Amino acid sequence: MDSHRILYWAGTVSSEKQEALARELAVGHFTARRSATAPETLLAAAVEVGMDAKMAAEVLANKSMYLREVQQSIEAVQCAGVYSIPVFIFIVGETTVAQISGAQPTAAYDKVLRSIA
């Protein structure tokens, strides 16, 4: 939950910082094989994108900081039917017409796209 909390905090600073931190964590995880949950990785990533090191350390040390907000965000997406990632929601006009969750074969996307074309 620490990675969610620190990303939430980054979003309170700015959406640009949140995006930069998310990108830094993803690159570290997928290219350098760094744990996206290890506190030292989270702190280093926050500092790398120019966030305040002292505040980042405080967020990581205080397990209740931003926990409620993160839990509410998780509940909100689950209420919208999202239980796995990636998720693609297809909207036509203002109506959700299809949703694809999790890793799916190309045929699943083809079927949805053909149905709404």
Summarised one tens digit per residue, pLDDT across range 59-102 is 999 999 999 999 999 999 899 888 888 899 899 999 889 999 88
Enter the DSSP assignment of 78: H
Supply the pLDDT for residue 80: 83
Supply the pLDDT for residue 57: 98
User: Is the model's pLDDT at 33 over the cut of 90?
Assistant: yes
Summarised one tens digit per residue, pLDDT across range 4-23 is 999 999 999 999 999 999 99
Instruction: Read off the pTM.
Output: 0.79
H/E/C letters for each residue in 9-73?
HHHHHCHHHHHHHHHHHHHHHHHCCCCCCCHHHHHHHHHHCCCCHHHHHHHHHCCCCCHHHHHHH
